[in-house]
Chains A and B, each alone.
Chain A
Amino acid sequence: MTESNDIPIRLTLNKSLKSVFCKPTETLLSLLRDGFGLTGSKRGCNQGLCGACTVLIDGKPMRSCLTIAATCNGRDVVTVEGLLENGKLSTMQQALVDSGGVQCGFCTPGVAIALTSLLREDPKPDRTKIREALSGHLCRCSGYIKIVDAAEAAAEKAGS
Protein backbone atom coordinates (compact mmCIF):
# COMPACT_ATOMS: atom_id res chain seq x y z
CA MET A 1 0.00 0.00 0.00
CA THR A 2 1.67 3.20 -1.13
CA GLU A 3 0.93 6.67 0.13
CA SER A 4 1.18 9.98 -1.63
CA ASN A 5 4.60 10.88 -0.29
CA ASP A 6 6.13 7.43 -0.87
CA ILE A 7 9.18 7.57 -3.05
CA PRO A 8 9.86 5.20 -5.92
CA ILE A 9 13.49 4.07 -6.05
CA ARG A 10 15.53 1.65 -8.09
CA LEU A 11 18.61 0.08 -6.63
CA THR A 12 20.89 -2.83 -7.29
CA LEU A 13 20.51 -5.15 -4.34
CA ASN A 14 22.82 -8.13 -4.12
CA LYS A 15 23.43 -7.93 -7.86
CA SER A 16 19.80 -7.77 -8.92
CA LEU A 17 17.89 -4.66 -9.92
CA LYS A 18 14.97 -3.82 -7.65
CA SER A 19 12.23 -1.20 -7.86
CA VAL A 20 10.43 -0.33 -4.67
CA PHE A 21 8.49 2.42 -2.96
CA CYS A 22 9.85 3.66 0.34
CA LYS A 23 8.66 6.08 2.98
CA PRO A 24 10.60 9.33 3.41
CA THR A 25 11.68 8.34 6.90
CA GLU A 26 12.42 4.71 6.11
CA THR A 27 15.99 3.64 6.69
CA LEU A 28 17.77 1.24 4.41
CA LEU A 29 17.89 -1.23 7.31
CA SER A 30 14.11 -1.22 7.59
CA LEU A 31 13.72 -1.53 3.85
CA LEU A 32 16.08 -4.52 3.78
CA ARG A 33 14.51 -6.31 6.72
CA ASP A 34 10.83 -5.47 6.34
CA GLY A 35 10.62 -4.71 2.63
CA PHE A 36 12.90 -7.35 1.17
CA GLY A 37 12.92 -9.91 4.00
CA LEU A 38 16.71 -9.74 4.10
CA THR A 39 17.04 -10.14 7.84
CA GLY A 40 20.76 -10.85 7.81
CA SER A 41 21.47 -7.18 8.57
CA LYS A 42 20.71 -6.72 12.26
CA ARG A 43 19.25 -3.89 14.29
CA GLY A 44 21.48 -3.83 17.35
CA CYS A 45 21.16 -0.16 18.28
CA ASN A 46 19.62 1.85 15.41
CA GLN A 47 22.19 4.54 16.17
CA GLY A 48 25.10 3.51 13.98
CA LEU A 49 27.10 2.48 17.03
CA CYS A 50 27.08 -1.32 17.05
CA GLY A 51 27.89 -2.09 13.41
CA ALA A 52 25.51 -5.06 13.06
CA CYS A 53 23.57 -3.39 10.22
CA THR A 54 26.62 -2.57 8.10
CA VAL A 55 26.21 -3.12 4.35
CA LEU A 56 28.22 -2.15 1.29
CA ILE A 57 26.85 0.88 -0.53
CA ASP A 58 28.64 1.50 -3.80
CA GLY A 59 31.31 -0.83 -2.47
CA LYS A 60 31.93 0.91 0.83
CA PRO A 61 30.81 -0.28 4.26
CA MET A 62 28.13 2.00 5.68
CA ARG A 63 25.50 1.79 8.38
CA SER A 64 22.16 0.86 6.86
CA CYS A 65 20.37 2.12 10.00
CA LEU A 66 21.68 5.65 9.35
CA THR A 67 20.97 5.59 5.62
CA ILE A 68 17.65 6.97 4.45
CA ALA A 69 16.45 4.37 1.96
CA ALA A 70 15.39 6.99 -0.59
CA THR A 71 19.02 8.12 -0.93
CA CYS A 72 19.86 4.66 -2.31
CA ASN A 73 18.12 5.39 -5.58
CA GLY A 74 20.51 4.34 -8.31
CA ARG A 75 23.04 2.89 -5.92
CA ASP A 76 24.52 -0.55 -5.41
CA VAL A 77 23.79 -2.26 -2.10
CA VAL A 78 25.30 -5.54 -0.91
CA THR A 79 24.17 -7.22 2.31
CA VAL A 80 25.63 -10.22 4.10
CA GLU A 81 23.32 -12.42 2.05
CA GLY A 82 24.90 -10.94 -1.08
CA LEU A 83 28.39 -12.02 -0.05
CA LEU A 84 27.52 -15.63 -0.86
CA GLU A 85 29.19 -16.92 -4.00
CA ASN A 86 27.12 -19.44 -5.97
CA GLY A 87 25.10 -20.16 -2.87
CA LYS A 88 28.20 -20.90 -0.79
CA LEU A 89 29.91 -18.91 1.91
CA SER A 90 32.59 -16.56 0.60
CA THR A 91 36.21 -17.08 1.61
CA MET A 92 35.81 -14.44 4.33
CA GLN A 93 32.55 -15.90 5.63
CA GLN A 94 34.00 -19.42 5.64
CA ALA A 95 37.07 -18.16 7.51
CA LEU A 96 34.82 -16.73 10.22
CA VAL A 97 33.25 -20.18 10.58
CA ASP A 98 36.54 -22.08 10.57
CA SER A 99 38.43 -19.75 12.90
CA GLY A 100 35.72 -19.75 15.56
CA GLY A 101 34.88 -16.12 14.88
CA VAL A 102 31.14 -16.78 15.07
CA GLN A 103 29.55 -17.20 18.48
CA CYS A 104 26.06 -15.81 18.98
CA GLY A 105 26.30 -14.55 15.42
CA PHE A 106 24.42 -11.27 15.83
CA CYS A 107 27.43 -9.09 15.00
CA THR A 108 28.66 -11.49 12.32
CA PRO A 109 26.84 -10.01 9.30
CA GLY A 110 28.32 -6.56 9.90
CA VAL A 111 31.73 -8.02 10.65
CA ALA A 112 31.66 -10.08 7.45
CA ILE A 113 30.85 -6.94 5.44
CA ALA A 114 33.60 -4.87 7.07
CA LEU A 115 36.26 -7.53 6.62
CA THR A 116 35.22 -8.29 3.05
CA SER A 117 35.68 -4.61 2.26
CA LEU A 118 39.03 -4.52 4.04
CA LEU A 119 40.41 -7.47 2.08
CA ARG A 120 39.32 -5.91 -1.20
CA GLU A 121 41.28 -2.77 -0.39
CA ASP A 122 44.20 -4.41 1.34
CA PRO A 123 44.65 -8.10 0.51
CA LYS A 124 47.38 -8.58 3.15
CA PRO A 125 46.41 -6.53 6.20
CA ASP A 126 48.32 -6.94 9.45
CA ARG A 127 46.47 -7.49 12.73
CA THR A 128 46.45 -3.79 13.55
CA LYS A 129 44.82 -2.96 10.21
CA ILE A 130 42.25 -5.67 10.79
CA ARG A 131 41.42 -4.31 14.22
CA GLU A 132 41.07 -0.83 12.75
CA ALA A 133 38.65 -2.16 10.15
CA LEU A 134 36.66 -3.82 12.94
CA SER A 135 36.56 -0.59 14.89
CA GLY A 136 32.92 0.25 15.57
CA HIS A 137 31.76 -3.35 15.28
CA LEU A 138 30.71 -4.39 18.74
CA CYS A 139 30.94 -8.07 19.63
CA ARG A 140 30.14 -9.17 23.17
CA CYS A 141 30.96 -12.87 22.74
CA SER A 142 34.33 -13.35 21.12
CA GLY A 143 36.76 -10.82 22.53
CA TYR A 144 37.57 -10.15 18.84
CA ILE A 145 40.66 -12.37 18.76
CA LYS A 146 39.19 -15.12 16.60
CA ILE A 147 37.54 -12.58 14.32
CA VAL A 148 40.98 -11.08 13.65
CA ASP A 149 42.31 -14.61 13.17
CA ALA A 150 39.59 -15.18 10.58
CA ALA A 151 40.55 -12.13 8.53
CA GLU A 152 44.17 -13.24 8.56
CA ALA A 153 43.20 -16.73 7.49
CA ALA A 154 40.97 -15.42 4.70
CA ALA A 155 43.76 -13.15 3.44
CA GLU A 156 46.11 -16.07 3.40
CA LYS A 157 43.65 -18.33 1.62
CA ALA A 158 42.83 -15.71 -1.01
CA GLY A 159 46.52 -15.09 -1.59
CA SER A 160 47.45 -18.73 -2.01
Chain B
Amino acid sequence: MGPGMTFSEPETLDEVCSLLSKDPEARCLAGGASLVAMMNAGLLAPTQLISLRKIPDLGAITSMPDGSVKIGAMARHNDVAAFSGFLGAQRIISAAACRIGHPAIRNMGTIGGSICHADPSADYPTAITAADAVVSILGSEGARQVAARDFFVDWLETTLEQGEIAVSVTIPPDPSNASVHYEKFTRADGDFATVSVAACLGMSDGVVQTFRVVVGGVAEKPVRSPEDEAVFIGRPLKDSDIVEFSAALEALCNPIDDMRGSADYRLKLMPRLISRALKRAQADQLVSDSGETA
Protein backbone atom coordinates (compact mmCIF):
# COMPACT_ATOMS: atom_id res chain seq x y z
CA MET B 1 0.00 0.00 0.00
CA GLY B 2 1.59 3.17 -1.13
CA PRO B 3 1.46 6.15 1.19
CA GLY B 4 -0.19 8.04 -1.64
CA MET B 5 -3.30 5.90 -1.69
CA THR B 6 -6.55 7.81 -1.60
CA PHE B 7 -9.95 6.92 -0.24
CA SER B 8 -13.31 8.09 -1.45
CA GLU B 9 -16.94 7.35 -0.76
CA PRO B 10 -18.88 8.47 -3.86
CA GLU B 11 -22.65 8.58 -3.70
CA THR B 12 -23.47 7.64 -7.28
CA LEU B 13 -22.48 4.75 -9.51
CA ASP B 14 -21.56 7.16 -12.29
CA GLU B 15 -18.93 8.69 -10.03
CA VAL B 16 -17.60 5.22 -9.25
CA CYS B 17 -17.32 4.34 -12.93
CA SER B 18 -15.66 7.61 -13.68
CA LEU B 19 -13.04 7.08 -10.95
CA LEU B 20 -12.47 3.49 -12.07
CA SER B 21 -12.09 4.40 -15.72
CA LYS B 22 -9.37 6.94 -14.95
CA ASP B 23 -7.21 4.65 -12.84
CA PRO B 24 -6.53 1.00 -13.59
CA GLU B 25 -5.06 0.52 -10.10
CA ALA B 26 -8.16 1.80 -8.30
CA ARG B 27 -10.22 -0.79 -6.47
CA CYS B 28 -13.80 -0.81 -5.30
CA LEU B 29 -14.12 -1.51 -1.59
CA ALA B 30 -17.23 -3.51 -0.77
CA GLY B 31 -17.09 -5.58 2.43
CA GLY B 32 -13.30 -5.73 2.52
CA ALA B 33 -13.17 -9.41 3.41
CA SER B 34 -10.90 -10.31 0.50
CA LEU B 35 -9.52 -6.97 -0.61
CA VAL B 36 -8.24 -5.76 2.75
CA ALA B 37 -6.85 -9.19 3.57
CA MET B 38 -4.82 -9.04 0.36
CA MET B 39 -3.69 -5.49 1.11
CA ASN B 40 -2.65 -6.52 4.62
CA ALA B 41 -0.65 -9.39 3.18
CA GLY B 42 1.13 -7.04 0.79
CA LEU B 43 -0.34 -8.80 -2.24
CA LEU B 44 -2.19 -5.75 -3.50
CA ALA B 45 -1.48 -2.03 -3.28
CA PRO B 46 -4.29 -0.08 -4.94
CA THR B 47 -3.75 3.57 -5.72
CA GLN B 48 -7.23 4.37 -4.56
CA LEU B 49 -10.00 2.72 -2.63
CA ILE B 50 -13.52 3.56 -3.74
CA SER B 51 -15.91 2.63 -0.99
CA LEU B 52 -19.34 1.64 -2.26
CA ARG B 53 -21.14 1.93 1.04
CA LYS B 54 -22.64 5.35 0.33
CA ILE B 55 -24.33 4.30 -2.93
CA PRO B 56 -28.05 4.19 -2.16
CA ASP B 57 -29.78 0.80 -2.26
CA LEU B 58 -26.77 -1.10 -3.54
CA GLY B 59 -27.28 -3.67 -0.80
CA ALA B 60 -30.98 -4.27 -1.45
CA ILE B 61 -32.44 -7.71 -2.13
CA THR B 62 -35.69 -7.34 -4.07
CA SER B 63 -38.33 -9.78 -5.27
CA MET B 64 -39.32 -8.56 -8.74
CA PRO B 65 -42.82 -8.79 -10.23
CA ASP B 66 -41.69 -11.49 -12.69
CA GLY B 67 -40.60 -13.75 -9.83
CA SER B 68 -36.92 -13.04 -10.19
CA VAL B 69 -34.83 -11.78 -7.28
CA LYS B 70 -32.45 -8.91 -7.72
CA ILE B 71 -29.52 -8.90 -5.31
CA GLY B 72 -27.59 -5.66 -5.06
CA ALA B 73 -23.81 -5.97 -5.21
CA MET B 74 -23.42 -4.74 -1.63
CA ALA B 75 -25.81 -7.30 -0.17
CA ARG B 76 -24.04 -9.01 2.73
CA HIS B 77 -23.74 -12.79 2.80
CA ASN B 78 -25.82 -13.03 5.96
CA ASP B 79 -28.62 -10.97 4.46
CA VAL B 80 -28.68 -13.17 1.37
CA ALA B 81 -28.59 -16.29 3.52
CA ALA B 82 -31.55 -15.06 5.53
CA PHE B 83 -33.62 -13.77 2.58
CA SER B 84 -36.87 -15.70 2.53
CA GLY B 85 -38.09 -14.65 -0.92
CA PHE B 86 -36.08 -17.22 -2.88
CA LEU B 87 -38.29 -19.90 -4.41
CA GLY B 88 -37.41 -23.22 -6.03
CA ALA B 89 -33.98 -23.30 -7.64
CA GLN B 90 -33.33 -19.72 -6.50
CA ARG B 91 -32.69 -21.16 -3.07
CA ILE B 92 -29.29 -22.44 -4.20
CA ILE B 93 -28.13 -18.85 -3.58
CA SER B 94 -29.04 -18.79 0.10
CA ALA B 95 -27.85 -22.38 0.51
CA ALA B 96 -24.42 -21.28 -0.66
CA ALA B 97 -24.41 -17.92 1.13
CA CYS B 98 -24.80 -19.50 4.54
CA ARG B 99 -21.71 -21.66 3.92
CA ILE B 100 -19.34 -18.76 3.23
CA GLY B 101 -16.55 -18.35 5.76
CA HIS B 102 -17.52 -17.54 9.31
CA PRO B 103 -20.28 -15.44 10.94
CA ALA B 104 -18.24 -12.23 11.15
CA ILE B 105 -17.12 -12.65 7.54
CA ARG B 106 -20.74 -13.13 6.47
CA ASN B 107 -21.59 -9.86 8.21
CA MET B 108 -18.96 -8.09 6.13
CA GLY B 109 -18.60 -9.80 2.77
CA THR B 110 -20.81 -8.95 -0.18
CA ILE B 111 -22.03 -10.83 -3.22
CA GLY B 112 -20.50 -8.24 -5.52
CA GLY B 113 -17.12 -8.48 -3.81
CA SER B 114 -17.21 -12.25 -3.90
CA ILE B 115 -18.09 -12.69 -7.57
CA CYS B 116 -15.69 -9.96 -8.70
CA HIS B 117 -12.86 -11.67 -6.80
CA ALA B 118 -13.75 -14.74 -8.89
CA ASP B 119 -12.09 -17.38 -6.79
CA PRO B 120 -13.26 -20.69 -8.29
CA SER B 121 -13.24 -22.25 -4.82
CA ALA B 122 -15.60 -19.59 -3.46
CA ASP B 123 -19.28 -20.35 -2.98
CA TYR B 124 -21.11 -17.70 -4.97
CA PRO B 125 -19.55 -18.29 -8.41
CA THR B 126 -20.73 -21.89 -8.37
CA ALA B 127 -24.14 -21.01 -6.95
CA ILE B 128 -25.00 -18.13 -9.28
CA THR B 129 -23.94 -20.23 -12.26
CA ALA B 130 -26.28 -23.00 -11.12
CA ALA B 131 -29.05 -20.45 -10.61
CA ASP B 132 -28.72 -19.25 -14.22
CA ALA B 133 -28.21 -15.79 -12.76
CA VAL B 134 -27.48 -12.67 -14.75
CA VAL B 135 -24.93 -10.10 -13.63
CA SER B 136 -25.75 -6.46 -14.32
CA ILE B 137 -22.70 -4.40 -15.13
CA LEU B 138 -22.39 -0.65 -15.34
CA GLY B 139 -19.52 1.13 -16.99
CA SER B 140 -18.64 4.52 -18.27
CA GLU B 141 -19.65 3.17 -21.70
CA GLY B 142 -23.09 2.12 -20.44
CA ALA B 143 -24.80 -0.89 -18.91
CA ARG B 144 -24.68 -4.52 -19.97
CA GLN B 145 -25.90 -7.85 -18.70
CA VAL B 146 -23.86 -11.02 -18.65
CA ALA B 147 -24.96 -14.56 -17.84
CA ALA B 148 -23.19 -15.86 -14.74
CA ARG B 149 -21.45 -18.60 -16.69
CA ASP B 150 -19.93 -16.01 -19.00
CA PHE B 151 -19.03 -13.64 -16.18
CA PHE B 152 -16.17 -15.80 -14.92
CA VAL B 153 -13.24 -15.90 -17.32
CA ASP B 154 -10.22 -17.37 -15.58
CA TRP B 155 -8.59 -17.75 -12.14
CA LEU B 156 -9.49 -14.55 -10.28
CA GLU B 157 -10.59 -12.95 -13.55
CA THR B 158 -14.02 -11.79 -14.72
CA THR B 159 -15.38 -10.21 -17.84
CA LEU B 160 -15.35 -6.79 -16.18
CA GLU B 161 -13.43 -4.18 -18.15
CA GLN B 162 -11.65 -1.22 -16.68
CA GLY B 163 -14.21 1.34 -15.57
CA GLU B 164 -16.91 -1.25 -15.05
CA ILE B 165 -18.60 -2.38 -11.89
CA ALA B 166 -20.99 -5.26 -11.16
CA VAL B 167 -24.07 -3.65 -9.64
CA SER B 168 -26.47 -6.53 -9.13
CA VAL B 169 -27.10 -10.22 -9.65
CA THR B 170 -30.54 -11.25 -10.85
CA ILE B 171 -31.78 -14.73 -10.07
CA PRO B 172 -34.46 -15.85 -12.53
CA PRO B 173 -37.69 -17.43 -11.31
CA ASP B 174 -38.03 -21.20 -11.25
CA PRO B 175 -41.54 -22.32 -12.12
CA SER B 176 -40.53 -25.98 -11.68
CA ASN B 177 -40.09 -25.40 -7.93
CA ALA B 178 -36.88 -27.39 -7.97
CA SER B 179 -35.10 -28.65 -4.91
CA VAL B 180 -31.57 -27.50 -4.30
CA HIS B 181 -28.57 -28.86 -2.53
CA TYR B 182 -25.24 -27.16 -2.04
CA GLU B 183 -22.62 -29.79 -1.22
CA LYS B 184 -19.41 -28.20 -0.04
CA PHE B 185 -16.34 -30.14 0.92
CA THR B 186 -13.74 -28.31 2.98
CA ARG B 187 -10.65 -29.36 4.91
CA ALA B 188 -11.76 -27.34 7.89
CA ASP B 189 -14.69 -25.26 9.05
CA GLY B 190 -15.15 -22.04 7.11
CA ASP B 191 -12.48 -22.76 4.51
CA PHE B 192 -12.89 -22.26 0.80
CA ALA B 193 -14.13 -25.39 -0.91
CA THR B 194 -11.82 -28.14 -2.06
CA VAL B 195 -14.73 -29.09 -4.30
CA SER B 196 -18.29 -27.80 -4.16
CA VAL B 197 -21.39 -28.85 -6.04
CA ALA B 198 -24.46 -26.67 -6.55
CA ALA B 199 -27.38 -28.83 -7.65
CA CYS B 200 -30.89 -27.78 -8.69
CA LEU B 201 -33.25 -30.63 -9.37
CA GLY B 202 -36.90 -30.30 -10.29
CA MET B 203 -39.01 -33.42 -10.83
CA SER B 204 -42.60 -33.96 -11.76
CA ASP B 205 -44.42 -37.26 -12.19
CA GLY B 206 -41.19 -39.10 -11.69
CA VAL B 207 -39.29 -37.36 -14.46
CA VAL B 208 -36.71 -34.61 -14.34
CA GLN B 209 -37.88 -31.12 -15.27
CA THR B 210 -34.99 -29.02 -14.07
CA PHE B 211 -31.43 -30.22 -13.88
CA ARG B 212 -28.53 -27.91 -13.24
CA VAL B 213 -25.33 -29.11 -11.62
CA VAL B 214 -22.30 -26.86 -11.29
CA VAL B 215 -18.97 -27.80 -9.76
CA GLY B 216 -16.53 -25.39 -8.08
CA GLY B 217 -12.89 -25.86 -7.18
CA VAL B 218 -12.01 -28.10 -10.11
CA ALA B 219 -11.10 -25.57 -12.78
CA GLU B 220 -10.32 -21.91 -13.30
CA LYS B 221 -14.05 -21.13 -13.10
CA PRO B 222 -17.25 -22.98 -12.24
CA VAL B 223 -17.71 -26.07 -14.39
CA ARG B 224 -21.05 -26.53 -16.10
CA SER B 225 -22.25 -28.36 -19.20
CA PRO B 226 -25.78 -27.46 -20.34
CA GLU B 227 -25.62 -30.05 -23.13
CA ASP B 228 -24.94 -32.86 -20.71
CA GLU B 229 -27.58 -31.52 -18.33
CA ALA B 230 -30.16 -31.64 -21.13
CA VAL B 231 -29.90 -35.43 -21.28
CA PHE B 232 -31.72 -35.70 -17.94
CA ILE B 233 -34.78 -33.68 -18.89
CA GLY B 234 -37.98 -35.66 -19.28
CA ARG B 235 -36.50 -38.89 -17.88
CA PRO B 236 -36.37 -40.51 -14.47
CA LEU B 237 -33.19 -39.74 -12.52
CA LYS B 238 -30.93 -42.75 -13.00
CA ASP B 239 -27.62 -43.52 -11.29
CA SER B 240 -26.06 -44.58 -14.57
CA ASP B 241 -26.89 -41.20 -16.13
CA ILE B 242 -25.30 -39.43 -13.18
CA VAL B 243 -22.14 -41.49 -13.61
CA GLU B 244 -21.98 -40.57 -17.30
CA PHE B 245 -22.71 -36.94 -16.51
CA SER B 246 -19.86 -36.79 -14.02
CA ALA B 247 -17.52 -38.36 -16.52
CA ALA B 248 -18.52 -35.76 -19.08
CA LEU B 249 -17.87 -32.94 -16.62
CA GLU B 250 -14.49 -34.37 -15.78
CA ALA B 251 -13.38 -33.62 -19.33
CA LEU B 252 -14.03 -29.94 -18.61
CA CYS B 253 -12.03 -29.89 -15.37
CA ASN B 254 -8.59 -28.46 -14.94
CA PRO B 255 -7.89 -28.94 -11.24
CA ILE B 256 -4.73 -27.90 -9.44
CA ASP B 257 -2.78 -29.30 -6.50
CA ASP B 258 -2.94 -26.99 -3.50
CA MET B 259 -3.25 -27.06 0.27
CA ARG B 260 -6.93 -27.97 -0.02
CA GLY B 261 -6.25 -31.16 -1.93
CA SER B 262 -4.47 -32.61 -4.92
CA ALA B 263 -5.88 -32.45 -8.42
CA ASP B 264 -6.31 -36.21 -8.22
CA TYR B 265 -8.36 -35.94 -5.03
CA ARG B 266 -10.53 -33.22 -6.51
CA LEU B 267 -11.33 -35.44 -9.46
CA LYS B 268 -12.11 -38.29 -7.09
CA LEU B 269 -14.40 -36.09 -5.03
CA MET B 270 -16.32 -34.59 -7.94
CA PRO B 271 -18.51 -37.53 -8.98
CA ARG B 272 -18.97 -38.55 -5.36
CA LEU B 273 -20.19 -35.12 -4.35
CA ILE B 274 -22.38 -34.75 -7.45
CA SER B 275 -24.06 -38.01 -6.62
CA ARG B 276 -24.53 -37.02 -2.98
CA ALA B 277 -25.89 -33.59 -3.89
CA LEU B 278 -28.41 -35.04 -6.32
CA LYS B 279 -29.54 -37.70 -3.85
CA ARG B 280 -30.13 -35.04 -1.22
CA ALA B 281 -31.92 -32.76 -3.64
CA GLN B 282 -34.05 -35.68 -4.76
CA ALA B 283 -34.89 -36.57 -1.18
CA ASP B 284 -36.06 -32.97 -0.70
CA GLN B 285 -38.23 -33.27 -3.80
CA LEU B 286 -39.86 -36.38 -2.38
CA VAL B 287 -40.52 -34.63 0.90
CA SER B 288 -42.03 -31.58 -0.77
CA ASP B 289 -44.09 -33.76 -3.15
CA SER B 290 -45.57 -35.71 -0.28
CA GLY B 291 -46.11 -32.42 1.52
CA GLU B 292 -48.19 -31.15 -1.38
CA THR B 293 -50.36 -34.26 -1.56
CA ALA B 294 -50.97 -34.34 2.16
Complex Cα distance A95/B118, Å? Answer: 42
In Å, the complex CA distance between A115 and B41 comes to 28
Q: Does A132 contact B (CB under 8 A)?
A: yes
Q: Interface extent on A, as a size class?
A: 20 to 34
Of B99-107, B218-226, B285-293, the one contacting chain A is B99-107
Given contacts A25-B5, A47-B37, A62 and B51 within 8 Å (CB-CB): no
Q: Is B24 an interface residue (CB 8 A)?
A: no
A7 CB → nearest B CB, Å: 6
Q: Which residues from B are CB-within-8-Å of A46?
A: 40-41
User: Hey, what's the 0/1 contact readout for A120-152 against B, CB within 8 Å counting as 1?
Assistant: 000000000000110111000000000000000
Nearest CB of chain B from residue A122's CB, rounded to whole Å: 12
Bound together, the chains give a CA A73 to CA B7 distance in angstroms of 12
Stretch from B12-20, B28-36, B130-138 at the A interface: B28-36
Taking a contact as CB atoms under 8 Å apart, the answer to whether A60 and B6 are in contact is no
Taken residue by residue from 75 to 117, chain A's Cβ proximity to chain B (1 for < 8 Å, 0 otherwise) reads as 0000000000000000000000000000000000000001000
Closest residue on chain A to residue B36 by CB atoms: A66
- B36 contact from A7, A27, A60, Cβ within 8 A: A27
Say yes or no: is A154 at the interface (Cβ < 8 Å to chain B).
no
Q: How far is the CB of A60 from chain B (nearest CB, A)?
A: 4
Residue of A nearest to B78 (CB): A60
Q: Is B206 an interface residue (CB 8 A)?
A: no
**In the complex, which residues of chain B have a beta carbon less than 8 angstroms from the beta carbon of A63?**
33, 104-105, 108
Q: Are B108 and A68 in contact (CB under 8 A)?
A: no
Check B5–A24 contact: CB distance below 8 A: yes
- Whether a CB of chain B sits under 8 angstroms from the CB of A54 is yes
Pair A47/B32 contact, Cβ less than 8 Å: no
**B103 and A133 form a contact (CB under 8 A):** yes
Determine the residue in chain A with the shortest Cβ distance to B1.
Answer: A25
The closest CB in chain A to the CB of B48 belongs to A24
Known: A5-B6, A135-B190. A65 touches B40 (CB 8 A): yes
**Contact yes or no, A132 B5, CB < 8 A:** no
Are A61 and B7 CB-contacts (below 8 A) given A47-B40, A47-B41, A48-B37?
Answer: no
* A7 and B7 contact, CB distance less than 8 A: yes
Interface size on B, as a range, is 20 to 34
B51 touches A68 (CB 8 A): yes
Contact of A66 among B5, B37, B51, B190 (CB under 8 A): B37
CB distance from A88 to the nearest CB of B (A): 26
Report B120 CB to chain A, min CB distance, Å: 20
> Chain B contacts of A73 at CB under 8 A?
9
Q: In the complex the two chains form, is A136's CB within 8 Å of B1's CB?
A: no
* B207-255 at interface with A (beta carbon < 8 Å): none
Verify A68–B40 contact, CB threshold 8 A: no
Q: For A65, what are the chain B residues with a Cβ–Cβ distance below 8 Å?
A: 36, 40
Task: Please give, as numbers and ranges, the residues of chain A lying within 8 Å of B5 by CB-CB distance.
Answer: 5, 24-25
Task: Report whether B103 and A71 are in contact in the complex, using a CB–CB cutoff of 8 Å.
Answer: no
Which of the listed residues B9, B29, B32, B49 has the most CB atoms from chain A within 10 Å of its own CB?
B32
Check B7–A68 contact: CB distance below 8 A. yes
Say yes or no for B39: interface residue by CB 8 A criterion. yes
Q: Which residues of B contact A61 (CB under 8 A)?
A: 103-104, 107
Closest to A5 in B: B6
Does B189 belong to the interface (CB within 8 Å)? yes
Q: Is A11 an interface residue (CB 8 A)?
A: no
- What chain B residues lie within 8 Å of A114 (beta carbons)? 103-104
Give the residue of A51, A68, A132, A133 whose beta carbon is less than 8 angstroms from that of B49. Answer: A68
Contacting residues, chain A, for B32 (C-beta < 8 A): 66-68, 71
Judge if A70 is at the interface, Cβ distance under 8 Å: yes
Q: List 17 A-B contacts (CB under 8 A).
A: A5-B4, A24-B5, A27-B36, A48-B37, A48-B104, A51-B102, A54-B104, A60-B107, A61-B103, A62-B107, A66-B40, A66-B108, A68-B36, A71-B9, A133-B103, A135-B102, A136-B190
Starting from the known contacts A7-B7, A47-B37, A70-B9, 9 additional A-B residue pairs (CB-CB under 8 Å) come to A46-B41, A48-B105, A61-B107, A62-B107, A65-B36, A67-B32, A71-B9, A71-B53, A133-B103
List the 5 closest pairs (A to B, CB-CB), nearest first: A136-B102, A24-B7, A25-B1, A66-B36, A60-B107
